[in-house]
A and B are shown apart, each in its own frame.
Chain A
Amino acid sequence: MMQGLVIGLGNPDRGDDGVGRVVAQNLRRMAPAGIAVREHDGEASGLIALLPAELPVVIIDAARAGGTAGRIHRFDAGAGPLPAELGAWSSHGLGLAQAIELARVLGRLPRCCIVFAVEGASFALAAGLSPAVAAAAQALPAQILAELAALAAPGAPERGNGP
């Protein structure tokens, strides 16, 4: 059975910064039993407290890369640190990259931790999602479920906390 936790991060009042939470909301409507979905503001210690001990976790956050709005980046955070620049993209105090590294140092990071970062265009107050980012928020849930299904398949990588 497919199992996992999906966490959408962001500030819903700051335009594309809220894309992670919209992805979580979209995914919640289609997630099968066994897939838990949470939304969070991204504050590092609160995010670490959410991380499961055993289940695969997928985290979605906004990114500000100066590239193409709506472009989706995938990172295997269980295998290694996020790119350094992601810390600067993230919007939540210590940042997602720092939260993941702190969890890793404390032995709290699940072995399987996938991060999707969606490039945003506008982070203005009450702006809502820009069209390209809203389109990414529609497309990403299916990609996440496919990822979790692959992890549940026979021969998938071992779960549990990293070293």
Chain B
Amino acid sequence: MADRTIKVAQLARVEGEGALKITIRDGAVKQAELNIFEPPRFFEAFLRGRAFTEPPDICARICGICPVAYQMSAVHALEAALGVTVDGPLRALRRLIYCGEWIESHGLHVYMLHAPDFLGYQGAIELARDHADIVQRGLDMKKAGNAIVALVGGREVHPVNIKVGGFYRAPRRRELQGLVDQLERGRDAALATVRWVAGFDFPDCERDYEFVALRHPAEYPFNEGRLVSSRGLDLAIADYPQHFQELHVAHSTALHSQRAGGGHYFLGPMARYSLNFDRLPALAQDAAKAAGLGPVCRNPYRSIVVRAVELVFAFDEALRLIADYVEPDQPAVPCEPRAGTGHGATEAPRGMLYHRYRLAADGTIEDAVIIPPTSQNQPTIEDDLKSFIGGWLDMSDEALRWRCEQTVRNYDPCISCATHYLRLDIDRA
């Protein structure tokens, strides 16, 4: 039992490119190493020397699944450097397009990637053979998210309508009203999704995470707030570099993040939810309670329920924003170049995404730093794997391989602009 070697060529249903290596020695897990390809590093270099107006379009290309998050963190960081504040209807439109991206991303992950694990299916195709109506419900929800992103962002993939200071064109009120029926159906579908996933069987695995997420005085966070943690951190976004650090590790091309002075932390839906439960609308809170979730969730297998609750929130918030929408006088706030440094952090579907830009007086980008949520979560994912797998060593190779794959999918690692699937090696030597 102590010495076996398992090789898995591909880890399906994790988007992107990377490798997971589990090393088992003398019946105990010695190491769990997740190696992901990290496109932002290329883009940081690509951005240097370019005009401050360019990051929204360039950053959208970092990720096919969450381009809006990259655009939002970029524009907030650049506006901070330029001393510009975007509020009113333009701020609301930014929240609205973020709702669309969360719906797209969570809808895809819950239905296509994660749910099959809990129901014993190989994947979404096999799930659809038995439950076509359920898979179609997931596709319809994602389509509603696409519709928001396409309308506000100008197109579904790599939106082009977002600029520093606001938008190139603000949608008309009647255009947004055209989404309402689809979004109301989506909200009902999201509530049904919470009920559906609440009935899955979850391994009893709780972890003592330090959750980190944005927290806003009144809203469930998208674009603004202070960075808070479940262990008392409470700081302005501009103070991020003083409290978090990136480290090179030998086994990964991506930089790992940790709290300054040591300690891993955890971003994403579970962190947002656990630090902001009181900011959710009553509809989402009630759905969570009915699904058996408390105000804090520490079991990563239950992240699928949290994502479903965030789907309810995103549809509900989109409908609220559309109902309250007043067409702005101008689609963007004027932005004049000046020297300065700006920090931005927004809540990508997978967690807080940090950008920092240093600008020259003419607005040229002298330095750019982009720290995506998956690389920040990497040490925690490895910690969890190491912790959980130790209890599963009696499983057959096939069962253990499957459980490892499911565990990685808990975190919805976003490495989606890469070209191949994660490879998984379990080395029991």
Contact = CB atoms under 8 A, between A and B. Distances in A.
B108 A106 contact: no
Interface in A34-78: 40-41, 43-46, 48-49, 64
B419 A64 contact: yes
Contacts of A44: 112, 124
Contacts of B16: 93
Contact of A94 (B13, B107, B136, B420): B13
Given A49-B143, A93-B15, A102 B125 contact: yes
A101 B132 CA distance: 12
B139 A17 contact: no
B142 A45 contact: yes
Interface residues of B, number: 36
A126 interface: yes
Contacts, number: 75
Contacts of A40: 157
Interface in B310-355: none
Most A C-beta atoms less than 10 A away, residue of B42, B64, B123, B143? B64
B157 A91 contact: no
A47 to B, nearest CB: 11
A28 interface: no
B86 interface: no
A101 B64 CA distance: 22
B64 A88 contact: no
A158 interface: no
A116 interface: no
A26 to B, nearest CB: 19
A46 B421 contact: no
A41 B157 contact: yes
B108 A45 contact: yes
B125 A101 contact: yes
B419 to A, nearest CB: 4
Interface string B1-21: 000000000100101100000
A43 B125 contact: no
A44 B12 CA distance: 14
A21 to B, nearest CB: 11
Contacts of B42: 125-126
Nearest to A50: B156
B416 interface: yes
B136 A11 contact: no
Main secondary structure of the interface of A (DSSP, over half): loop
A46 B139 CA distance: 8
A101 B234 CA distance: 48
Contacts of A13: 61, 417
Nearest to B10: A88
B394 to A, nearest CB: 31
A102 B419 CA distance: 21
Contacts of B125: 98, 101-102, 105
B419 A105 contact: no
B407 interface: no
B146 A49 contact: yes
A103 B65 CA distance: 20
Contact of B112 (A17, A94, A107, A123): A94
Contacts of A107: 132
A159 interface: no
Contacts of B65: 43, 93
Interface of A: 11, 13-14, 17, 40-41, 43-46, 48-49, 64, 88, 91-94, 98, 101-102, 105-107, 123, 125-126
23 contacts: A13-B417, A14-B417, A14-B419, A17-B419, A41-B64, A43-B64, A43-B65, A45-B142, A45-B143, A46-B156, A49-B139, A64-B420, A88-B421, A91-B418, A93-B108, A94-B113, A98-B124, A102-B128, A105-B125, A106-B128, A107-B132, A123-B419, A125-B42
Interface of B: 10, 13, 15-16, 39, 42, 46, 61, 64-65, 107-108, 112-113, 123-125, 128-129, 132, 135-136, 138-139, 142-143, 146, 156-158, 416-421
